[in-house]
Amino acid sequence: MTEREDEVLARIRQGVFYTETEAAFLGPGRRADLIFDYNGTRPGDTDRKRELLERILGSVGKRTVLLAPFHAGFGSNVHIGDDFFGNVNLTFVDDVEIRIGDGVMIAPGVTLTTTGHPIHPELREDFRRFSKPITIEDKVWIGSNVVVLPGVRIGYGAVIGAGSVVSRDIPAMTVAVGTPCRVVRHITDADLPTARPPGDGH
């Protein structure tokens, strides 16, 4: 790696703006063709899907289910733990790392994006952007059509309500909803006895 590439990587890690041209050397980490193959693999061909997933992702745990189609800018910057379930149309904008713990469930249409762009249009030439890693801790449940923004950490056991835009860290063992996403309550032992789904008034 050249001195210039080292300097660009350092800026990326610091969350400082960088351009597409500056980051072009990261291109070999993109797994677009393998993702295309994964999304076209028959649902019952679990061995083939597992083989492709291990080649696409930076790391993947045991008993992982990722329903097709899914999308990723790179794929190689995504790390998934054991007992993961990702429903259809999960999108990883993984210019930097996305780390997902064990026992995480993600509903349809969710976007995890590590990257944003400058507000002023004059700064957006050559796709200038910044990137900050996302961390999703163990046993998190993310509802449908949620967007998780750069730099966010979602704590252990948290539940993110459908349609939320998560722009700040969410503490462990909380329910958070809305745009922007805010904590509405803590998860306690009082949530254990019921077998009813959330919101069921019967």
Regarding beta strands 147-148 and 111-113, do their DSSP bridges make them parallel or antiparallel, or are they unpaired? parallel
Q: Is 202 a catalytic residue?
A: no
Is 153 inside any structural domain? yes
Is 199 inside any structural domain? no
Average pLDDT over residues 162-181: 98
What is the C-alpha separation between 75 and 93, in angstroms, rounded? 9
CATH code for position 122: 2.160.10.10
Is 122 inside any structural domain? yes
Tens of pLDDT, residue by residue over 72-118, are 999 999 999 999 999 999 999 999 999 999 999 999 999 999 999 99
Is 52 inside any structural domain? yes
Is 196 inside any structural domain? no
Is 45 inside any structural domain? yes
Structural domain that includes position 163: 3-190
Question: Which of the following is catalytic: 71, 79, 117, 202?
Answer: 117
pTM: 0.93
Tens of pLDDT, residue by residue over 49-85, are 999 999 999 999 999 999 999 999 999 999 999 999 9
What does the pLDDT read at residue 193?
78
134 contacts: CB under 8 Å, gap ≥ 6: 97, 98, 99, 112, 113, 114, 148, 150, 151, 152, 153
Is 200 inside any structural domain? no
Q: Structural domain tally of the chain?
A: 1
Is 97 inside any structural domain? yes
Question: 18-44 in b/e burial notation, b at 16+ Cβ within 10 A?
Answer: beeebbeebeeebbeebbebbeebeee
What does the pLDDT read at residue 1?
78
Under the banding of pLDDT at 50, 70 and 90, the label for residue 198 is low
Helix (H, G, I), strand (E, B) or coil at 45: coil
What is the C-alpha separation between 37 and 45, in angstroms, rounded? 12
